[in-house]
Amino acid sequence: MKQLEERLGYLFHDRSLLENALTHSSYANENKQKGEASNERLEFLGDSVLGMVVADHLFRSHPDMPEGELTRTRAALVCEESLVEVARKLELGQYLKLGRGEDAGGGRKRPSIQADAVEAVIAAVYLDGGIGSARKFITSFILTNNEREQEGGIRDYKTALQELVQRESGQVLSYRLTGESGPDHAKVFRVEVDLNGTPAGKGEGRSKKEAEQSAAKAAIAHLTGAAADG
């Protein structure tokens, strides 16, 4: 745990909070007799703390950014993909307490479990050290992801693509799954987005949602490039 605290940049006064943040419901269910509690309550609190800190940062640092763009940027910064990146930087997976079945099924690398654990850790830091400590952690690991912030939330490429094609009436976008590969705990999905029945972009990702975003990003590049060429 000391090594993880060093990676977090925060030393806990009450280390049991960190232990709880790393306890998945599958482990808690298998160890009820020991009084183990899952990290779900901490995840709930951490989600709110994260959202508030990010919203406050965006509001103060981008005084001219309209509400819709603020919302998209916040969503890009706090999305599962962003939180999984944090978990991987911290190598959080190796510290998770999982049930035997979840562990054997690749739970340590499961994006949803990793993202939830990051939110729980944020709550643990908040409860142990206050909002200042939580803000410092969020700033270090999430708000320093300048690529997402500078894109003004355009990591929500599906919305950006929808707004792009709606400049002309009668435009119809559709997404379809074209394939998937890999084991259940590490699947890769492939998606194609069509504009008026014509392929406009392809993408892949660890979830269908991520693959759709990737395809939308490719479509934006294709359409804006075609417009520039034209």
- Please tell me which residue in 5, 6, 40, 47 is annotated as part of the active site: 47
Task: Consult the annotation and say whether 180 binds a ligand.
Answer: no
- Cα gap 72→1, rounded to integer Å: 35
- Please tell me which residue in 85, 119, 149, 210 is annotated as part of the active site: 119
Please state the φ and ψ torsions of residue 175, each to the nearest 5 degrees.
Answer: -115, 140
Task: Consult the annotation and say whether 128 binds a ligand.
Answer: no
Tokens coding 123? 């709550």
Q: Work out the number of other CB atoms within 10 angstroms of the CB of residue 83.
A: 27
119 is catalytic: yes
> Which residues make Cβ contacts (< 8 Å) with residue 92, sequence separation at least 6?
4, 22, 86, 114, 117, 118, 121
- Cα gap 9→131, rounded to integer Å: 15
Please state the φ and ψ torsions of residue 212, each to the nearest 5 degrees.
Answer: -65, -40
Task: Consult the annotation and say whether 116 binds a ligand.
Answer: yes
Residues classed as catalytic = 47, 119
Q: Output the known binding site for Mg(2+).
A: 43, 116, 119
Q: Output the known binding site.
A: 43, 116, 119
